[in-house]
Amino acid sequence: MPSETATAGTSLSPPRTHLHDLPDEILSIIFSLVTDIRSRNSMSLVCRKWAKADRSSRTTLSLRGYVGNLDRLPSCFPSVTNLDLSFFSPWGHPLCLFPPDPLSEGAHRFAFLAQRFPKVTSLTFYSRHPATVQILACYFPFLRSVKLVRFHQRITVPAGSDLIPLFAHCPSLSSLDLSHFYCWTEDIPAALQAHPASASALTHLNLLILSTDGFQSQELQAIAAACPNLLHLLASCRFDPRCLDFVGDVALLSIATNCNKLRHVHLADASSLSSPRSDPDADGFSHEDARISGQALEEMFIALPDLEDLTLDVCHNVRGAGVALEVLGSKCRRLRSLKLGQFHGICRGDAPRSDGIALCMGLESLCIKNSGDLTDLGLIAIARGCPRLSKLEIHGCHGISSYGVMSMVCCLRKTLVDVGISCCKQLNAASSLQALEPIRGRVERLHVDCVWGAPDSEYAAEKNTQDFDLNCCSEANEVHGFANCGTDYSINGSWGSEADGFMKRMWKCSSDCESSKKAGSEFWSKTWPRLRSLSLWIAVGELLMPLAAAGLTYCPALQEIKIKVEGDCRLWANLTMPAFGLNSLVRYPRLSKMNLDCGEVTGYALSAPPGQTDVDQWERFYLHGIEELELNQLDYWPLHDSAMNRRSLTRPAAGLLSRCVTLRRLFVHGTCYAHFFQMFLRVRNLREMQFRVDYYPAPENDMSTEMREDSWLRFEHELIHRPIPD
């Protein structure tokens, strides 16, 4: 037959090259370039060869399931180096038995775990008892990076008992993350001083502990003296001068002197980590001044020439910081990220030359919180001095208006992609989005406050009192191009000629945008084509539905939204509207992830007086319509009754969440009655579900929690063994 075909003049087609013909090494490299977990899982289902390539090339793995089933782990992940064990259920259950006998069942589990993952160098695990750390450190002695997780309260043990086994058995440890670990501040210096060689080897130390009031000055000095080779230091501090041993000049200079190799420094007051929002009616100045001088800041910056990332969120006034920031810009030439909280005088903006932050020319990320004297002129000067900014956050700066924000984004329209505006008195949702119009086509991440009222009119009245003479030149026709037009005007104040021309162009741009808004609705109907992540803050009782009318009409690429609700609903007698408006988010076609945080909303759980609405109805109000969204992942923080210390999922909330048929992952940061579990079995695509709260699973003698370990295990068994469509 082939000869007859050849005689007839037809040629045989050459064999096709298939992806299977690639060598296994190249196929493993291709798999390693795929970062999305679901995509990799789908690729591994194509054939056995692809499944083998996927398993052999995975370097990061997060294990979920019952802690007693560790002996069922597969042995096909030999290349895993980053292992996460913090999602085991029952959540927070100790991984070993007590006491830590090498022949105990817990020790056998860890031995089996070490055999299955021999190359692990980075480990994350939940530790309720020091014995867990001790056994894990014995079986994984080559660990380089460790993250400990514990939301349960610390048991009564000697100081440093949770960390001393880690330093004793892991001499190669270089990174330690305690940001999600409930412990005491005195535990860290005690453990570091007990093993000076291991402490000296540390290069990354994350101590942003939320469970304490922050580290004191003596503790920070001890940590800095024990870890001279630190490159990254993140710590929650006690900057309040009314407290004993508060952090001031001595502690900052000790850190800079002992750890002069630091590249990333994050020092934040503990209060800023727990309640970041400021009072919208305040003037931006706190009641107390921090004991941090400009001279100490200058000496600190001079001693840290390799600094790349700096955060100083003090929560107490640091006045006249402009000169110190000029030293920062001149001595730390590698600085790329800067976050300042409660710093004043950071940039005047009315001087003939640049000053303060405006001299940090290499900045790519900037966050300014609660700067009481920062004005639009200072913001514009920062934009001109820092032309590489791609991320900008403005929080609690009441001297900033939409005029200043628009002027700044006009200057940074080629680089700015991540913007956050919150707690600014003169900026509501509509004015913030209007000010971002010049970069609407570039923004990828955005945070705004859902304040629907009219912006404060004092700034507009002040602008009207100034004498502006706008005589446009021939180039003024390029309204939306923000051309360098040569208009003339006069304004009260002493500016340089260069600043005059820049301010003239920016004011013309804002005026033209106002005209286009009044001319028709086209200004607001434009899309945000690259916006992928949206973060919102909204007060209790306000609605979400005006969001589209404020300017976010169409976001075709939006995938993730975070909504933070705060307030006291006990001040509201009755609900006047049927729903919060989550169903209005169906206008965003690719929305798949949501964080709905109502954890800061306080209400009546079981003690509502006559005429008041309890949290059952409030949760119905906030979750109504969520089933209309095609969400794959949801994190939900229920409302709580602070008087009864109760944060539990109510019956309406459980019923509404069970209607989200597309959910694959559901995390409820609270607890739930066991008889509500059957509702969630209706979600046919649900694969992973957790109730995460600090007292779960509770001890048997604790009667304050609603569910137990055995009830959760029964639900998890039914969840795993039911048929799942995909």
User: Does a structural domain hold residue 684?
Assistant: yes
Q: Please check whether residue 204 lies inside any domain of the structure.
A: no
Tokens 């609605």 sit on residue: 543
Same domain, 651 and 696: yes
Residue ranges in the chain modelled with pLDDT below 50? 1-10, 97-103, 455-524, 695-698, 700, 703-705
Domain closes at, from 8, 38, 58:
58
Structure confidence by residue, pLDDT tens digits, 626-647 = 999 999 999 999 988 877 667 7
- Same domain, residue pair 516 and 615: no
| Count of domains forming the chain | 3
Tell me the CB-side half-sphere exposure of residue 635, using CA atoms within 13 A.
12
Shared domain for 574 and 687, answered yes or no, is yes
Same domain, 586 and 671: yes
Establish if 131 belongs to a structural domain.
Answer: no
Contact 38, 664 (CB under 8 A): no
Query: What tokens appear for 544 in the block?
Result: 């979400």
Looking at the structure, tell me whether residues 519 and 474 fall in a common domain.
Answer: yes
492 falls within a domain: yes
Residue 225: inside a domain: no
The answer on 581 and 710 residing in a single domain is yes
* 619 and 479 belong to one structural domain: no
445 occurs within a structural domain:
no
Is 100 inside a domain boundary?
Answer: no
* Same domain assignment for residues 558 and 642: yes
Exposed/middle/buried for residue 487 (C-beta within 10 Å: 0-12, 13-18, 19+): middle
Task: Give the number of other Cβ atoms within 10 Å of residue 624's Cβ.
Answer: 18
- We report the CATH number of the domain holding residue 557 as 3.80.10
Q: Which domain does 584 fall in, by range?
A: 552-720
SS3 422: strand
In a shared domain, residues 518 and 590? no
Of 42, 58, 74, the residue at which a domain comes to its end is 58
Q: How many CB atoms lie within 10 A of CB 317?
A: 20
Helical segments of 554-663, H only: 615-623, 651-657
Sign of the dihedral through C-alpha 96, 669, 643, 657: negative
Question: Which of 58, 77, 111 lies at the terminal end of a domain, its last residue?
Answer: 58
DSSP classification of residue 12: P
Q: What is the CATH number of the domain that holds 52?
A: 1.20.1280.50
Q: How much is the CA Rg of the chain, to the nearest whole Å? A: 29
C-alpha distance from residue 68 to each of 94, 96, 109, 120 (Å): 11, 10, 8, 21
Cα separation of 317 and 300, whole Å? Answer: 18
Shared domain check, 561 and 514:
no
Give the residue from 229, 216, 156 showing the smallest Cα distance to 189: 216
* 559 lies in some domain: yes
The pLDDT of residue 517 is 43
Are 613 and 575 within 8 A, CB to CB? yes
pTM tops 0.75, yes or no: yes
Query: Do residue 478 and residue 579 come from a single domain?
Result: no
CA angle 311, 316, 318 (to 5 degrees): 70
Residues 575 and 716 in one domain: yes
Rounded Cα distance, 574 and 570, in Å: 9
